[in-house]
Structures are given as C-alpha cells and as structure tokens.
Chains A and B, each alone.
Chain A
Amino acid sequence: MQTQKTKLLFIIAAMLSFAVILGSCSKDDKPVTPPTPIATSPLYDTLGWFIQGGQGAVEGNGTKMIADPDNSGQTIQAGRLAIRTVVNKALMVIAADTAINIYFPTLLAEVGAGNTTGYAHLRETFTDFVQQAVSGQQIYKGMTMKAAHNFATYNRFGSAAHPTSDEADFNRFIGDVVIAAQSYNVPNSVIAQLGVLLSSVKGDIVY
C-alpha cells in the first residue's frame, strides 16, 4: 500500500515537472522583440503625404503601404512612390537635355532599340538611392557614386569622348530633377530639401 502511494506521488510529481517544463517553453513567455521600425524622416513623410493627395496629418505617410500603380497587386511605400514618380520624369527630362544625355549613350541606345531592362533597372536603382538618402532606409545596393559616374569604372556611363561629368553637368542634372518635381507641383520647400540631399554627393560625381 505504502509502495503504491509512493509510486502515485512520484507520477504526480513527474507530471507536474513536465507541465512546468512545457509551460516554460510556451511562446508567451519568450521575450517579445519589438519589430524594428522602418526608418523615415519628415521629408519622406511629406513626400508620401503629397503623393496621396496631401490630406490630413503628414506623419507616418512616408512608410505607409499603398497600392503600386505600376505593379499590379503589389504595394509600395507612399514615400518611395513619390520619389519614383519624380525619378521617372527626371529621366525623361534628362533624355531631352542635350547637355547631359551624352552621359547615357548606352541606356538611350538600348531604349531606342526596344530593350527596356536597363532603363527599368536605372529607374529602380536611382529610386533606391534617393529613397535611402531621404528616409535613411539602407536599401541602395548599387555601385558607389564615384564608380558609377566614370566611364573608366562603369562603361554604361559616358563614353571615351565624355568619360566623366563636371560641375556644370551636375548642376544641370539637379536642374532637370527640379523641372521633374515642379511638373508634379511639388512645393518649392520640399524640392529645396531634395536638392540639398542630392548635392551632398556632388563631390563623388564631379571630376
């Protein structure tokens, strides 16, 4: 009788221990790591707010996910969409600008020949670069600005006759981006902030 009681106590103790061990493994007790917030900035929020029609509060609109008009069924950060819209237009302005379209002969040749992949890729990397500069999100995985703007290190930029760009070219480029942004009625205060950000890489692009 005594032996049976001891056995029963042993079983109950074992079950309790097992329950405690299982409980300690439960997901609820795991320390919850809060998701890393996506980097943003007042300028990025303003751009996201602007592309959505400029209604209501500005804060949080940069990283807000909205439907991507160029990618059916996909969403995109509103701030990125605003930047990509300006980038798309800026590339058109540059294509019609004889002062600097000489630096994109390969791209324009591909586009003219009906081969659009390089064009789509440039739109994406240019957008990534500006988005990183504006929002602080580390998404740009392209070449360094210095390497990307020298025919000697990147043969899709310039030509043997025009291997590098100078300060006048850079200022012209900034002017073309401004024309693109103005065509969407982006406020001058926002354009000025974008201009300052883009000018920060001037030293790497001007030879």
Chain B
Amino acid sequence: MTMKKKLKVAAGSLLGIMFLFSAVLLIHIVVMVKNRKPLPAATLQMARADFKQPVPDQVMQTIQQAVSRQKGVKETYYNAGSRMLVYTYDNKVNTAEAIYASAIRPSGMSSERHLVSQSEATKGCPAMDNHSFYGKLTNMVARVVN
C-alpha cells in the first residue's frame, strides 16, 4: 500500500470515528431530553457566604432580612455551627455577587462569598451547564425533539 493510500485510509477512519462519536453523543442527548418537561424553578440558584467569626443572633437576623429583601431572593438559612449563610435566588433576576455586595458585606461582619475553584467547577456535568457547548447543544436538541 502506498503512503498516499495509507493516509487516505487513516483520514477516512478518523472521520468515521468522529462521525460515530458525534452520532452516539446526539443519540445520548436525544434519549436524555426526549419528553423532558421543564423543571420547576429551573433558574433557582443557591449561594453561600462564610463568616469568619460567630455572628450574634440579632445581627444575623438583620443580615437575613436584608438578603431576603433583595430582588429574586427566595429563602435564606444560617448554620451557626458552621457559620455559613445559604441563600437561594432566581438567577434570571439577580446574582450572588450583587446580593452579597448589597446585603451581606455592609453588615460589618467579616465574611467571604463562597466561590468554587477552577478544578471544582470542572467536576460538573458539562451537558448541565447551559453556557457550555454541550449545554447549548443539549438545549438545541431538546427544542427539536420536544
């Protein structure tokens, strides 16, 4: 077999494998999203602020009230043991950063917004990230098959 023919076979095989993988991915997405109903509160987001010292009950009550007053905030929960404040909000209406900046940082209590590291962020399922290529592809396929 000549070198040219070998290259042709290799290129053909590579294209064939790529096509097969793409087809498998598409079929997998179709199976996953077929008849999928929109999830309730699909844009509900959870965020966390970690306090660096114990927060007196009354101060925490004030902070939680301030957080609850922010647009899109649904609920708050504070664990005094772990000094973590968790809040849920609609990410179409507000952002975790804006809520933290407006309602938690001004409290005067030393705290920081919980952020995931780059390595943690890559652990999630890419198809579940609406902004990733796979997420966009999944949403597109869902629109076609449903």
Chain A residues within 8 Å of B, Cβ to Cβ: 68, 70-71, 74, 76, 84, 88-89, 91-93, 95-98, 105-121, 123-124, 156, 183
Contact = CB atoms under 8 A, between A and B. Distances in A.
A92 B74 CA distance: 12
Nearest to B85: A96
B39 A124 contact: yes
A116 B120 CA distance: 15
12 contacts: A68-B40, A70-B44, A91-B46, A96-B48, A98-B84, A105-B120, A106-B125, A110-B124, A114-B91, A120-B40, A124-B39, A124-B40
A184 to B, nearest CB: 11
B86 to A, nearest CB: 5
A30 to B, nearest CB: 30
B23 to A, nearest CB: 24
Interface residues of B, number: 34
Contact of B46 (A70, A95, A106, A121): A95
Interface in B1-58: 38-48
B82 interface: yes
Interface of B: 38-48, 75, 77-79, 82, 84-86, 88, 91, 114-116, 120-121, 123-125, 128-131, 135
B109 to A, nearest CB: 16
Given A68-B40, A92-B86, A95-B86, A119 B124 contact: no
B46 A117 contact: no
B86 A96 contact: yes
A108 B130 contact: no
B45 A116 contact: yes
A92 B88 contact: yes
Contact of B39 (A93, A106, A111, A121): A121
A97 B79 contact: yes
